[in-house]
């Protein structure tokens, strides 16, 4: 199979590329990534040594470039990870979220139709369902939960999902969608909760917990997300949405305290800061459909996954030190300076 992976220099896309190159030695993978602040070419330095891998620097909203790439490469499948992915940034500046996440999706799907690509997969998020109350643990997101978004980020992802379903119904595009909960693991960009807290502990900096730290996320180790996408791309039914989640709900404060404990630091580092605007309370995924239909099951429990993740950040300091010492420093000062 020849796959186009978009956004493969980011967190989940890069993990997916390594997953595929490792599992299918006969597959070819092309990655298109424009290398925004969140994309890092060095993340792919092992992949570029593989003869079955090719990197193209480019923007998924650039129709001409995308069409030329599709014409030249004749992909069997496209997996779209490319996106603006950080909720806090979408609250500061929504526009680029609409451009990349919605129009980029359209450009890719048009190219799939034009060049006869057999499968288009949209990597979406549980955030399209909005949030669940904290005091109703019985409620979970299923694939039929209505779309009800909170942030410009989730609204852009939901818009893209609706467009994918419309392209399936109206133009017969062979498309699937996955909606996954919060991922964690190697190459996670330092702006997100888990890497931010690990790096701040290692740098003996305050740990900024939004609100009271009671919000709940359902954490899934990134390779378990990759295996789910792989199954959907190969065996999923066209026009279907598949929820992917870890059955692993944790409050933010639990996550922060776990990281502190693993690293032998002091809880005095915890600093409660102004809450995120429109902050979703709780996400929880029912992944019965993908488990029953495609036989997917998460392999890594949270206790092991968080240890592996912390170890990765300890072993790969140059990767994140380069990020946090650059432009990211300005972002951090702006977001957390007066919070």
Is 127 in the active site? yes
Residue 105 within binding range of ligand DAU, rule CB under 6 A: no
Residue 82: name its binding partner from ligand NAD, ligand DAU, none (Cβ under 5 to 8 Å by kind). ligand NAD
Residue 200: name its binding partner from ligand NAD, ligand DAU, none (Cβ under 5 to 8 Å by kind). none
> Which one of 18-26, 32-40, 102-110, 204-212 is the stretch in contact with ligand DAU (CB under 6 A)?
204-212
Is 267 in the active site? no
Query: 99 vs 13, 105, 112, 248, 289, CA distance in Å?
Result: 19, 9, 19, 33, 31
> Which one of 161-169, 188-196, 228-236, 310-318 is the stretch in contact with ligand DAU (CB under 6 A)?
188-196
Output 28 or 84, the one with its CB closest to ligand NAD.
84
| Single residue of 3, 4, 5, 7 touching ligand NAD by CB under 6 A | 7
Is 153 in the active site? yes
Nearest C-alpha neighbor of 15 from the set 5, 25, 3: 5
Three-state secondary-structure class, residue 60: coil
Residue 126 within binding range of ligand DAU, rule CB under 6 A: yes
Return the DSSP state at 322: H
> What are phi and psi for residue 222, nearest 5 degrees?
-60, -35
Helix, strand and coil in the chain, % to nearest 5: 45, 15, 35
Q: Cβ of residue 141: shortest distance to ligand DAU, in angstroms?
A: 10
**Tokens 């960009």, residue located:** 189
Active-site residue (options: 126, 131, 191, 230): 126
Query: 188 vs 164, 180, 191, CA distance in Å?
Result: 27, 15, 8
Three-state secondary-structure class, residue 143: coil
Nearest C-alpha neighbor of 125 from the set 95, 71, 87, 91: 87
| Single residue of 208, 245, 246, 298 touching ligand DAU by CB under 6 A | 208
Q: Cβ of residue 215: shortest distance to ligand DAU, in angstroms?
A: 4
Residue 195: name its binding partner from ligand DAU, ligand NAD, none (Cβ under 5 to 8 Å by kind). none
Residue 69 within binding range of ligand NAD, rule CB under 6 A: no
Q: Which parts of 245-284 interact with ligand DAU (CB under 6 A)?
A: 252, 276, 283
Three-state secondary-structure class, residue 253: helix
Active-site residue (options: 33, 127, 161, 224): 127
CB atoms within 10 A of CB 226: 21
Applying CB under 6 A, the site for ligand DAU has a residue count of: 19
Residue 6 within binding range of ligand DAU, rule CB under 6 A: no
Output 131 or 230, the one with its CB closest to ligand DAU.
131
b or e along 161-188 (b: 16 or more beta carbons within 10 Å of the residue's beta carbon)?
Answer: bebbbebbeeeebbbbbbbbbbbbbbbb
Active-site residue (options: 18, 120, 129, 153): 153
Active site residues: 126-127, 153
Query: What residues line the site for ligand DAU (CB under 6 A)?
Result: 85-87, 125-127, 181-182, 192-193, 196, 208-210, 215, 217, 252, 276, 283
């Amino acid at each position: 199979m020849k796959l186009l992976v978009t956004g493969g220099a980011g967190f989940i896309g890069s993990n997916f590329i390594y997953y595929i190159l490792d599992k299918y030695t006969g597959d070819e993978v092309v990655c298109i990534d424009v290398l925004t602040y969140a994309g890092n070419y060095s993340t792919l330095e092992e992949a570029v040594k593989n003869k079955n891998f090719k990197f193209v620097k480019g923007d998924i909203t650039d129709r001409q470039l995308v069409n030329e790439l599709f014409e030249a490469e004749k992909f069997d499948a496209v997996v779209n990870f490319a996106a603006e992915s950080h909720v806090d940034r979408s609250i500061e500046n929504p526009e680029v979220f609409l451009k990349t996440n919605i129009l980029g999706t359209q450009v890719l799907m048009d190219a799939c139709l034009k060049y006869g690509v057999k499968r288009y997969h949209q990597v979406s998020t549980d955030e399209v369902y909005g949030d669940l109350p904290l005091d109703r643990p019985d409620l979970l997101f299923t694939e039929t939960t209505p779309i009800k978004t909170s942030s410009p980020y989730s609204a852009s992802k939901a818009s893209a999902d609706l467009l994918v379903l419309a392209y399936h119904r109206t133009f017969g595009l062979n498309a699937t969608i996955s909606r996954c909960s919060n991922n964690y693991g190697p190459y996670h960009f330092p702006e997100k909760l888990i890497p931010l807290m690990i790096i701040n502990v290692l740098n003996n900096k305050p740990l900024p917990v939004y609100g009271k730290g009671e919000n709940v996320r359902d954490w899934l180790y990134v390779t378990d997300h990759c295996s789910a996408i792989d199954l959907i791309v190969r065996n999923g039914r066209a026009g279907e949405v598949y929820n992917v989640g870890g059955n692993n709900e944790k409050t933010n404060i639990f996550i922060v305290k776990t990281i502190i404990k693993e690293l032998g630091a002091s809880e005095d580092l915890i600093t409660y800061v102004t809450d995120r605007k429109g902050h979703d309370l709780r996400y929880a995924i029912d992944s019965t459909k993908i488990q029953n239909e495609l036989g997917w099951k998460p392999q890594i429990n949270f206790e092991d996954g968080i240890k592996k993740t912390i170890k990765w950040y300890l072993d790969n300091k140059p990767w994140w030190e380069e990020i946090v010492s650059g432009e990211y420093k300005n972002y951090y000062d702006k977001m957390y300076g007066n919070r």
